[in-house]
Structure 1
Amino acid sequence: MKAGFQTLDREAVVDRLDVRGRLPSWLSGTLVRNGPARFEADGRSFRHWFDGQAMLHRFGFADGVVSYRNRFLETPSLHAVRDDGRIAYAEFATDPCRSIFARFFTRPRITPNANVNVVSDGERDWALTETPIAVEFDPDTLATVGLSDHRDAIKGEVTTAHPHQAPLTGDLVNYVLKFGRRSVYQVYRQRGRTRELLASLPAERPGYLHSFAITERHVVLAIFPLVVNPLSFLLRGKPFIENYRWRPELGTRFVVIDQTDGSVVADRRTDAFFAFHHINAYDTEDAVVVDVSAYPDAEVVDALYLDRARDGVELPLPFPTRYEVDLAGDGPVRSRRLADDALELPRISYSAHNGRDYRYAYGVGAHGNLGHDFFNQLVKLDVRTGRTTRWHEPGRYPGEPVFVPAPDARAEDDGVALSVVLDADAGRSALLVLDAATFAEVARAEVPHAIPFGFHGRFTSASH
């Protein structure tokens, strides 16, 4: 398991991976995955899993053959780490060690280390992180093209690496958080290279939001009570996330925003919980349904510091939980757990069911719901019945399962799930292909090295 948190320096190009099993004849396209791959700078280690320097991994599928290449994102933060041997940018939980004096008189350097996700705006491909600096890359060679250059009035310090495609318009939707005496969440939509402000939501103590939800009609922000006083960034001399405080007495706030005019149509609070990832959301006649991989609190952030993760410290587990936000009156937010199996890094049949009613979700979990061995199984969840199907092999650690629908799919789960799996004993990884309907193994393609645990990826069909 420790190999998943170790540096991978090797960049490789393999035209044909060894494949065990037989790939579906229709599986043609590319899977690009993103995640951290370098965790040291001149003997000094980054402190958190989220801090490692970004590397892209590309799996190509054609005629039953799987190719592979991997490449670092060539960003200013990587150049400082690799070429100068220093940490020059503030990461999620690692600081360049500027003095308090320097904090007052030096503008903070927002990291361009885009190690979380990948997305296309219809014209270009981007690697993303939680700062508003995206990194363009070539989807074939993985070569870095350059940094984003939005020249509009939407400015800020924090965003999500999980923009959504609006189900009805196809616009990309996201938010940027601007810190200040009165901080503000700026929700925007983007068509091509043009961003338009949709709504502004003030916040005295903004919360840490890794993702958000979208439906056909609404944008939903779940503001967890892991909150910050923005002055702390100047006064406390600590890395970004260590300025946040868990304040459960604030509860979790659901803000529902109308996509047509940016108006707030509901603002409700419920009991405190925390989440990194939303599973999906959709509208009913008088409510918004929001499914979340929910933790009881924010202890998971601390559990993912590298020294603890490498030592196998017990990992808090999230469970798929449904929240229903009433839009017709002032009713309470109703909630219920969808299944008894933990589920993290959730994916759905996105193109057909994003923001709409759905049945199946896929994610990683923990065998026996025991958190001492990291995420070590894949889980398929039927959100209507609560039934789960699992894939587990001892000593194997799967990553986020990306669902790819069959081109003539007749059911929501007609397709395959793709997951990069680390074999801890062999010290190498493989791409696992599961039949999404049965969760039976279809094939696996062996990679010549261990791929560090990553975060998110995107499949693009060859026909696109």
Structure 2
Amino acid sequence: MTNRRQFISFAALGLASLPLPSLAAALIESTGDQAGQATVLGRMPADLNGIFYRNGPGRFELGGERYRHWFDGDGFAQRWQISDGKVSHTGRFVATQKFEEESKAGRFLYSAFGTHIGRKGAKNNDAMNTANTNLLPFNGGVYALWEGGSATELDPQTLATRGIKTWRADLKAMPFSAHPKADPDGGLWNFGTMPGADRLMIYRLNAKGEVTRTAMIPVADLNMVHDFVVSGRHLVFLLAPYDMQPAPDRSLADSMHWAGARRPLRAVVISKDTLALRQVFELPARSVFHLGNAYEDGACTRLDAVLHDGDALRTTSLPARDSLRPIADYRSNTVQITLDYASGQAREARLFGVSEFPRVAPQVVSARHRKLLVLGASGKELILDSVNLIDTDSGKADSYAFGSGWEVEEHVLVPRRGARSETDGYVVGVAQHTHHRQTVLTVFDAHNIKAGPRALARLPYRAPLCFHGNFLAT
């Protein structure tokens, strides 16, 4: 029987382990559409069939001008098709209004999250929409999502852009976050933020994509909120301590000033029943991008989050090409937070060290979970190169490190049909070798991460880095 640890040493790929710069430092950009058949190494599971939709920033430079921040690039959607042991890949730019206008002009026209460009004013949020953060299959459609504007609908097969999705006429161009959460009935919960306006927008969509409930909730000192969690009875948001100081010549990122010495990290809890603010908890000041899952535990709500020491927004600034820098200058920890409504206190327990991109199995979203998937950094440099499935009860992790020269993108849990546990299935993701310019799809057995990938699918070209995505079983 082939030893998977030897297999993932990439003798089959002909790839050496070398100390190399991180993807955050040498971002992979696209020069156009991509399409190709992957070379499968190992054997894909016979019962793993579906589409892994991914999205991320694909264009950072135009007309000799370069963006300043990792979050600024125009969206490049990707589609990995797994069928009968074979893997194919398609990548395509999302043809937003911004992308089309700027491509025609040959230069950037609109300001981005971290780069102020004052050549053209925006009539609404969607004029600046980069559609670069997540790719969501929902109700037969596929949607490229961004922080500050509408979803953009794509063709599920070709990824051709169909246009802006307006869920309801009165919600046109409203912020629709990149991290919606599924509900057990097949619907979605989502939110939008209006930094500087101190208003949090809540959406509830049914399985047909119809907006059934909305609320506009006042929240003091509201700034950028990237993610949230949904439990049986609550929606929970973590608000990092930033002060908004906007100015005509500042980007949104430049308008956000770290106030951690003066203000705490806040957990804002919204009741599902009333869509009203229930309670606010305070924790030590840290910044946050991603949360895992939440569930009710008696009179408490428990949730998982990755918390960064200090101002993590500054560590995601886009460096010069080929400069050497790890993925973050501030350490992070995955923690489980307990919100105790009776005492008004929030407690936290550390689950894992340097990490990001927490995910749970889709069948346990908003319910009690015992497994949390995160990426980790196995070396001294804060570079994400490992896949880790944490037991949230014991704190033990089933881990595999790809090693030097590799960087790992977000991975997701894919259950088998009729799965009886959170590890009855697979872990699917993407990894990049930064020196040999290799992009591979990775497949692990969820019950045995430490054995290494049971299969890899190597592209004949290098695909751009993605932020987030979702697996659609077929």
- TM-score scaled by structure 1? 0.90
Which residue pairs with 2:223 in the alignment?
207
Q: Report the 3-state secondary structure (helix = DSSP H, G, I; strand = E; otherwise coil) of the residue aligned with 2:101.
A: helix
Q: Structure 1 pair 145/157, CA: closer, same or farther in 2 (3 Å)?
A: closer
1:92 and 1:240 in contact (8 A); partners too: yes
1:110 and 1:157 in contact (8 A); partners too: no
Q: Structure 1 pair 320/310, CA: closer, same or farther in 2 (3 Å)?
A: farther
Aligned partner of 1:218: which letter?
Answer: H
2:32 and 2:93 in contact (8 A); partners too: no
Q: Structure 1 pair 277/86, CA: closer, same or farther in 2 (3 Å)?
A: same
2:53 and 2:136 in contact (8 A); partners too: no
Work out which structure has the larger RCO, using CA pairs closer than 8 Å and 6 or more positions apart in sequence: 2
The correspondence for 1:370, drawn from 381, 385, 396, is 381
Unaligned runs of 5+ in 1: none
C-alpha distance in 2, partners of 1:195/1:435? 37
Q: Structure 1 pair 157/317, CA: closer, same or farther in 2 (3 Å)?
A: farther
Aligned partner of 1:377: which letter?
Answer: S
Please give the root-mean-square deviation of Cα atoms over the aligned residues, in Å.
2.3
C-alpha displacement of 1:312: 2.9
1:5 aligns with 2:15: no
Q: Structure 1 pair 195/396, CA: closer, same or farther in 2 (3 Å)?
A: same
1:165 aligns with 2:182: yes
1:155 and 1:178 in contact (8 A); partners too: no
Deviates more, 1:307-316 or 1:68-77: 307-316
The correspondence for 2:56, drawn from 24, 27, 35, is 35
C-alpha distance in 1, partners of 2:293/2:58? 29
1:333-386 Cα distance to aligned partner (Å, 9 max, x none) = 1112112x3220111102x11011111122222123532xx3222222221111
1:374-411 Cα distance to aligned partner (Å, 9 max, x none) = 32222222211111223323211110012111224333
C-alpha distance in 2, partners of 1:78/1:106? 16
C-alpha distance in 1, partners of 2:123/2:192? 22
C-alpha displacement of 1:45: 0.7
- Percent identity among equivalent residues? 27
Q: Structure 1 pair 317/419, CA: closer, same or farther in 2 (3 Å)?
A: farther
Q: Report the 3-state secondary structure (helix = DSSP H, G, I; strand = E; otherwise coil) of the residue aligned with 1:83.
A: helix
Aligned partner of 1:65: which letter?
Answer: K
Q: Structure 1 pair 310/190, CA: closer, same or farther in 2 (3 Å)?
A: farther
C-alpha distance in 2, partners of 1:71/1:34? 10
1:320-344 Cα distance to aligned partner (Å, 9 max, x none) = 11111112x23311112112x3220
Q: Structure 1 pair 127/442, CA: closer, same or farther in 2 (3 Å)?
A: same
1:89 and 1:111 in contact (8 A); partners too: yes
The correspondence for 1:357, drawn from 368, 376, 389, is 368
C-alpha distance in 2, partners of 1:275/1:63? 39
Aligned partner of 1:187: which letter?
Answer: I
Deviates more, 1:403-412 or 1:419-428: 403-412
Aligned partner of 1:21: which letter?
Answer: G
Aligned partner of 1:226: which letter?
Answer: Y
2:33 and 2:91 in contact (8 A); partners too: yes
C-alpha distance in 1, partners of 2:74/2:229? 27
C-alpha distance in 2, partners of 1:33/1:108? 23
Spell out the pairing of 1:32-431 with structure 2 (5 A cutoff).
Answer: 32-98=53-119, 110-154=127-171, 158-167=175-184, 169-178=185-194, 183-191=198-206, 192-229=208-245, 232=246, 235-248=247-260, 249-298=262-311, 300-307=312-319, 310-314=322-326, 315=328, 316-327=330-341, 329-339=342-352, 341-350=353-362, 352-368=363-379, 370-371=381-382, 374-388=383-397, 389-431=399-441
1:34 and 1:54 in contact (8 A); partners too: yes
Q: Report the 3-state secondary structure (helix = DSSP H, G, I; strand = E; otherwise coil) of the residue aligned with 1:241.
A: helix
Aligned partner of 1:78: which letter?
Answer: F
Q: Report the 3-state secondary structure (helix = DSSP H, G, I; strand = E; otherwise coil) of the residue aligned with 2:454.
A: strand
2:77 and 2:135 in contact (8 A); partners too: no
